[in-house]
Amino acid sequence: MKCLLKNVYYVDGFMDEAGKGDILIDGDSISEIGDHIGTSEDTDVIDCNFNKAIIPGLVNAHTHAAMTLLRGLGEEKPLKEWLEERIWPVEAKLTPQDIYWGTALALMEMASMGVTGFADMYFEMEEVGEAALKFGVRCALSKGIIGTKESDIEKALRLFEYFKDQKLVNVQVGPHAPYTVPIDMYKKLCHMAKEKNIGVHTHFMEAAWERDYLKEKYDMVPVEFLENSGLLSVPLALLAHCVWIEKDEMEKVAVPSVKVAHNPSSNLKLGSGIAPLKDYLKKGVSVCLGTDGAASNNRLDVWEEMRLAALLHKGNELDPTCCKSKEVLKMATFNGARALGFDKVGRIQKSWKADLVVVDLDKPHYVGVEPSNLVQYLVYAGSSSDVVGTMVNGRWIYYYGSYSYKDVEEIKREAKKSRERICS
C-alpha cells in the first residue's frame, strides 16, 4: 500500500525552510518527494490543499512512560526527597500489568501529540516494549538499574535477546545515575554494552549536589567519571539532563557517541537548574529533547519542550540569537532518533523511514505562514494541539482522533484501576 500526501508544506532536510509539493510513502519509507507525483490504483491519496505541514516525527528522548500512573504525586518536593519518600515507595507496588497500562496511557498521549519514538528507562521493560509494539511506536528501552546486583546484568542481556529481532525496538543498558550505581557497576554495564554493540542510557548531573557527590566519593569531576566508568567508550551514551557540566568540561561530551537529552520542563519543575544549552550547541554537542516522566513535568509534550528550549536560554543568556528554532526542531526529531539508535529516521527525505507528523495549518495562529518561516511558526506559535496525524514506519498510529491501537478506552479504564490500587 502506498500513501500520497498531496499539496503539503514539508520541513526540508536541514530543518530550515519548507518545501512545497507531494510526498509519496511506499511501505515503511518515503519513496518520492516532488511536484505532481503520479498515482497507481493501490495509492491512498490525501489532498492537503497546502493547509497541512509534514514534519519529521518527534522523539521523546528521555522518559519513564509508565510514570503516568504517578502523575501529581509528591508535587513541589526536592529531587532526593521526592524520589525517596514519594516515588520509590509507590513504584515498589507496581506490577508488570500496571507498567503495561501506564505505558499505554503515555503512548496514547504521545501519539496524539506527534511523538513517533521514545527512550524509556523503567522496569518490567518487556511490558513497555509490548505496549510500544502494539501502538507501533519506535523505542529504545533500558531497564533502570540501581545498586550492584549481578542479576541485573543478566536481566539487561535478556531484554536485549527478547527484542533483538524487532525493527522498531532498540535495547539500551540503563544504570539509573552515578549516585545510585557505583562506578564498578557502570564499568561492567558499559563493558556489556560494548560487547553487544548497544547504547547506555543514564541520568547524569541532573542536580548540583551530584558534582559534590562525585568529588567526595571518587575525587572526580563529572567528565572524569564519564571517562573512568566507560561511558565514553560505549557505542552510544544517552545522558539525561547534564545540567551541571562546566564549560571547560564540554569538549569531552562533544563526541558523536554522546547524546545529551535536555529536559527543560522537568529541570525547572524539580528546581534542578538550567542546562547550558547555548554552550552545548556552540561546542557541537549532540542534544536531543525529553520530557522525563509524567510525575516531574507533568506533560509528555515534546512541542512544549521545543518551545521552552527555544525561549528559556535566550532569556537566561540574555541572547535572542541563541538556540534557534531550526536547531530546536532538529533536536526534537533527527537528533532524538539518533539518540535512540535509529538510522535514516528523523528527516523528510527520500529513502528515509516514514516517521512523520501532519500539522494542521488551517488555524488562526498560522495565518502568514509560508515556506521561509514555517519552522519558526511551528516552534514559537505551534503546539501539540495542531497535530492531526502521526505516522511511524509508514503506518498511521494516530489520525484525526483515532488510534490504530484497538481499544484505547480499555487503556484509560485499566490505568485508572492501577492508579487507585498503588495509591491506596
Tell me which residues touch Ni ion (CB under 5 A).
Answer: 292
- The DSSP code sequence of 78-100 is -HHHIIIIIIHHHHTT--HHHHH
Distance separating alpha carbons of residues 309 and 370, to the nearest angstrom: 23
Closer to Ni ion by CB, 340 or 356: give it: 340
β-pairing, 18-26 vs 29-34, is antiparallel
Closer to Ni ion by CB, 176 or 252: give it: 176
* In the complex, least distance from residue 81 CB atom to Ni ion, rounded to whole angstroms: 16
Grid cell digits, residue 357: 507528523
Closer to Ni ion by CB, 325 or 335: give it: 335
* In the complex, least distance from residue 159 CB atom to Ni ion, rounded to whole angstroms: 18
* In the complex, least distance from residue 87 CB atom to Ni ion, rounded to whole angstroms: 11
- The DSSP code sequence of 289-303 is E----GGGSS---HH
**C-alpha distances in angstroms, 404 versus 42, 97, 112, 293, 389?**
20, 21, 11, 24, 11
Closer to Ni ion by CB, 65 or 104: give it: 65
Type of residue numbered 362:
D
Instruction: Kindly tell me the sign of the dihedral angle through the C-alpha atoms of 104, 105, 108, 110.
Output: negative
Grid cell digits, residue 81: 526527597
Is 68 exposed, middle or buried, given 0-12, 13-18 or 19+ CB atoms closer than 10 A? buried
Closer to Ni ion by CB, 292 or 327: give it: 292
DSSP-derived 3-state class of residue 247: helix
CB 267 within 8 A of CB 275: yes
* In the complex, least distance from residue 89 CB atom to Ni ion, rounded to whole angstroms: 18
* In the complex, least distance from residue 240 CB atom to Ni ion, rounded to whole angstroms: 5
* In the complex, least distance from residue 105 CB atom to Ni ion, rounded to whole angstroms: 18
**C-alpha distances in angstroms, 307 versus 177, 183, 226, 303, 345?**
27, 36, 30, 6, 22
* In the complex, least distance from residue 393 CB atom to Ni ion, rounded to whole angstroms: 26
β-pairing, 387-392 vs 395-399, is antiparallel
**C-alpha distances in angstroms, 132 versus 68, 163, 185, 295, 411?**
15, 12, 29, 20, 13
Q: Which of 272, 275, 377, 265 is nearest to 316 (CA)?
A: 275
Closer to Ni ion by CB, 77 or 326: give it: 77
Closer to Ni ion by CB, 63 or 333: give it: 63
Closer to Ni ion by CB, 204 or 352: give it: 204
Type of residue numbered 138:
R
* In the complex, least distance from residue 62 CB atom to Ni ion, rounded to whole angstroms: 6
* In the complex, least distance from residue 44 CB atom to Ni ion, rounded to whole angstroms: 39
Closer to Ni ion by CB, 142 or 286: give it: 142
Closer to Ni ion by CB, 127 or 292: give it: 292
* In the complex, least distance from residue 296 CB atom to Ni ion, rounded to whole angstroms: 7
Taking the CB of residue 385, how many other CB atoms lie within 10 A of it? 12
Distance separating alpha carbons of residues 337 and 342, to the nearest angstrom: 5
The residue number with the shortest CB distance to Ni ion is 292
